[in-house]
Structure 1
Amino acid sequence: MAAARAAHSGTGTAAASVDAASSRSAEIGLDFSAVRAELGLPVEYPAAALSEVEQTVAQPVFDATRVDATDLPLVTVDPPGAKDLDQALLIDRRGSRGYRIHYAIADVAAFVPPGGALDAEVRRRGQTLYLPDGNVPLHPTLLSEGAASLLPDQIRPAVLWTIDVDRDAAPVRVDVRRAVVRSVARLDYEGVQQSLNAGIAHPAVALLPEVGRLRREQAVHRGAIELEPPEQQVESDGAGGWRLALRPRLRLEAFNAEISLLTGMCAADIMLESGVGVLRTVPEPEPETIAGLRHSAVGLGLEWSEQQVPAEFLSDLDPTRPEALALHVAATRLLRGAGYTAFDKGAPDKTRHAGIGAAYAHVTAPLRRLVDRYGAEICLAVHAGRDVPDWVHAALPQLPSAMGGSDRMAGQVERMCIAQAQAWTLADRVGEEFTATVLRSSGEGDSGEVFVPDPPVIARCTGDHLVEGQRVWVRLTEADPVRRDVAFEVMAPTPG
């Protein structure tokens, strides 16, 4: 869930206390229904939408011009237990010339009639919302976890991207068309990593680390501002309760994400060339913002040469170090102003995504995100030399607002769930002391935000002379599950 900022050792009694908190939550049946109710999250789909899904699933109509790509040994790579499988991958070597990437994306448009009841409902929802006790899906599970999901050994309609890249993994040829595919295996990140370490990886993903590293190198050269601290998340304790955990992002996840980013950049190029599309945009940081981050780096004792752009400097940081951890938090100011830019009569003025260092469009997660279905239709039509469908043109003006609203809701859901879990976990520990790292401080230095590593909590803190990156002893002063509020006060700097 929300990005946490690092992991350090905490007090000796923390593990036992967290286990006790998990047991208490199981006993009283804590869940996140209050979050759902407070935000008014949808519970069910309209009957007309469900009826429409049942009909399209029972009698699917696939275009006869689809390419039969069922001979490609594609695989999916997702978190364990995932059923809404948007992407299936196969990477081959093109002799000494580079690599060929086959990337099949679930073709949701094959099941969602434009202008129908389901179309109206998913446009209202915008995206799948993730809560610890269950998701609020964009599409009914009959579709998202069944008929449209790229489940193994099932023939499925897909939007098939075939991208040839050179030896540096830069794209040299892009093809996109409708196809039918059949995934041969459902893999998860840890399992793939273990198989790679053992030298027995599935052939479809054996080259993923090689291509992923090359794409990561290109990202730095493009000036991509990538912030990848560990993730603070709420997870089941296996006994009906909840616990907080800190989950570092696996390198394999980053490599897999590079394939999706590559596809999104290719999609953006197609859209910009045609003058029709919808981009995910983040403005370049202002020079004074970069100067402020440089000032923070100096204050934290981090060396940032004048020759290094932010992308190069940040890519070299170890996010587990307290001072680097604090700078990663400060660096989020570089990526403010994210939004969506739709255009229908020529390329817009704003095209770049500063976090990626290029123009970028969402097209690889249509089961979970509304805009991807429209992006795919644009790319398919332009690549085939056909007119973009009227229903896509008609929807373009509304997409930035719809996606912006759903992004804000997703962020709010995430923050509230973590805040709730933090308050539950610490409710019986008011007065206890913890080690912490200062993540942010106010201009006066008398308040800010700290990260306590065990249990992994991020919360507000008061105290004199708070300094970003400083290790401190803090006392828990408040943990209110009703208000979802946790607060600390600084006792003293930690020794050493």
Structure 2
Amino acid sequence: MTRALLDRDAVLAAGLGAIRSEFAVPTGFPPEVLAAAEAASRRVPDAHRDRTAIPFVTLDPASSTDLDQAFAIEASGGDLLLHYAIADIGWFVEDGDAIDREAWARGETLYLPDGKAGLYPPVVAEGAASLLPDGPRPAIVLTTRIALDGRGRIDSVERALIRSRAKLAYDAVRPADLPPDFPEIGRRIRAAEAARGATQVDPPDQEVVHAADGRLTLAFRPLLESERDNAALSLATNMAVADLLYAHATGLFRVMEGPDAVAVARLRGEATALGLDWPAATTLAEFERTLDAREPAQATMMLAIRRAGGGARYEAYRADVVPWHAAVAARYAHATAPLRRLADRYVLDAALAVANGRPVSEATTQAFARLPKVMATADARAGRIDRAVVDLAEAAMLEGREGERFTAVVTDIDDRGVRIRLTDLPILARVDAGGRAPGDTLTVRLTVADPAARRITFVV
């Protein structure tokens, strides 16, 4: 499944530069935003309770410095209390100031293989607001009570001063570094997912990495167990926040429809293309649970399933609509990554208000009305960048192989033609091939592999 990318004449570097230009990825922040952030970073937290005695830790990629979340776990009878501290970026940003205006223009942090374009300036996102272990930091602490069956509800929300005990890394963390109940709380949350019928798919990351010989390789990186357990904490908290806000007739929710019959039929074609056995009597949910991200073909299938839904989006609270996220099989909100997503700052503000018997501010209510469009624009831009990066990597992977023949399987047919997946490489393409049906096997010839144009072309 992996293959060396020869990267002639540093086409990936040049191609990534072209992507940054094409999508106007910011290279920094305007001087007035930097000046405002520098001043804001010196703001002393004075509305926060002292929770520095709680043994919080963070768990992230080793290189991360914009740390949104820290956690601690304690037993409470048969329940477990998840204390989830979220970076209090709202303490450093005032509605309408220069930092806020720039964040609304960006919407979210953009990620490319050669670096990111942050939502907030580094002096706050990677300094004063980040939950680094070098001193007390202001946070919004969401305490969620996790029952034996894995269901959670918010116990309290408060502004607090916390002190992280350690900056733990996914690939180096040891069980002794984590709270004793960390495995158990993850087990409970995953059991509740299964009981709800949530999508049991954790697709791997697809990365361009350096092989032992120095060449670039396109590879899958399955999620580590520590990543899955950490994601469970965020999932449980976000669901509990969504329930809290919905009960108080307010909020901004993440919603998503599940794959329809056409999408499921397309997925069956994908499975055939990848050589995977999906019996006709087996449902998508049942099939999902058989997949292993450590196997390249199955990892590719997991990615296809994740992309097959109607697309996640944001919706503000409406009295006549129950917000639902099909993949989660529950109400769901984004509250746990405010350093990377604009919407989370306002969701946290609303949760802080309603949990403490206060009305949601007019500024936050107005933001909920505006955010779906702003976040949709930001998400779409990020998605186009991700697609462009994949197109670049695929073209680089195939460069020099023009004229070669490949086996492919038809996965779908629509008004744009026949969609195929190569059986030996994780590549999707389209060809002009009439009279075909999903599941048919084709032999195709590569005619164009142009990294500069991010284009590959096949003919039957």
- So what's the TM-score if we normalise by structure 1? 0.82
1:364-375 aligned within 5 A: 364-375=336-347
In structure 2, distance between residues paired with 1:290 and 1:110: 44
Alignment of 1:81 onto 2:51: no
| Cα gap change, 1:233 to 1:120, in 2 (>3 Å) | same
1:10-409 correspondence runs (5 A): 14-15=3-4, 18=5, 21-22=6-7, 24-26=8-10, 30=14, 32-58=16-42, 60-64=43-47, 66-94=48-76, 97-171=78-152, 174-192=155-173, 195-196=174-175, 201-204=176-179, 206-235=180-209, 243-286=217-260, 288-289=261-262, 292=265, 301-303=277-279, 305=281, 310-318=284-292, 328=302, 331-332=305-306, 335-343=309-317, 347-409=319-381
Task: Name the CA shift for 1:470/1:259 in 2 (closer, same or farther; >3 Å).
Answer: farther
Superposition deviation, residue 458 in structure 1 = 4.4
Please state whether the residue corresponding to 1:406 is helix, strand or coil: helix
- Post-superposition offset of 1:485: 0.9
The DSSP-based 3-state class of the residue aligned with 1:104 is strand
CA 1:470–1:187 in structure 2 vs 1: closer, same or farther (change >3 Å)?
farther
Q: Kindly provide the CA deviation profile for residues 279-299 of structure 1, in whole angstroms up to 9, marking residues without a partner as x.
A: 01113555x458747976997
What is the CA–CA distance in structure 1 between the aligned matches of 2:293 and 2:213, rounded to whole Å? 32
Give the Cα–Cα distance (whole angstroms) in 1 for the partners of residues 340 and 271 of structure 2.
41
8 Å CA contact 1:325–1:469 kept in 2: the answer is no
* Distance in 1 (alpha carbons) for counterparts of 2:416 and 2:392: 27
- With over 3 angstroms needed to count, the CA separation of the structure-2 counterparts of 1:274 and 1:118, relative to structure 1, is same
Shift of 1:39: 1.3
Q: Which amino acid aligns with 2:99?
A: L
Amino acid at match of 2:337: A
In structure 2, relative to structure 1, the CA distance for the partners of 1:78 and 1:472 (3 Å cut) is farther
Corresponding residue pairs, total: 457
Paired residues of 1:132 and 1:235 also in contact (CA < 8 A): no
What do residues 2-45 of structure 1 show as CA deviations (whole Å, max 9, x unaligned)? xxxxx4xx7xxx54xx3xx14x3559953511111111222332
Would the alpha carbon gap of residues 277 and 242 (structure 1) be closer, same or farther in structure 2, given more than 3 Å must change? same
1:4 — aligned with what?
none
**CA, structure 1 residues 237+147, in 2 after alignment: closer, same or farther (shift >3 Å)?**
farther
CA contact (8 A) 2:72 2:84 kept: yes
Contact 1:132/1:236 (8 A) holds in 2 = no
Q: Label 1:474 to 1:249 Cα distance change in 2 as closer, same or farther (>3 A).
A: farther
Give the unaligned 5+ runs of structure 2: none
**SS of residue paired to 2:171:** helix
- Between 1:292-301 and 1:243-252, the stretch displaced more is 292-301
Deviation of 1:244 after TM superposition, in Å, equals: 2.1
Q: Whole-Å Cα distance in 2 between the matches of residues 341 and 129 of structure 1?
A: 22
Paired letter, 1:76 = T
**Partner-residue secondary structure (3-state), 1:127:** coil
Assess, with a 3 A threshold, how the Cα gap between structure 1 residues 184 and 439 changes in structure 2: closer, same or farther: farther
The structural deviation recorded for 1:174 is 2.1
Q: Which moved more, 1:38-47 or 1:231-240?
A: 231-240
Would the aligned equivalents of 1:362 and 1:372 in 2 still touch at CA under 8 Å?
Answer: yes
- RMSD of aligned residue pairs (Cα, Å): 3.4
How much has 1:221 moved relative to structure 2?
A: 1.8
Q: What does the per-residue CA deviation read over 1:201-245, in whole Å, with 9 as the maximum and x for residues that have no partner?
A: 3132x4333322321221122122343333322346799985422
1:422 aligns with 2:394: yes
Q: 1:273 to 1:155 in 2, by over 3 A?
A: same
The one-character-per-residue Cα deviations of 1:323-370 (angstroms, maximum 9, x if unpaired) are 866765664575204211113xx6450411111000011000000000
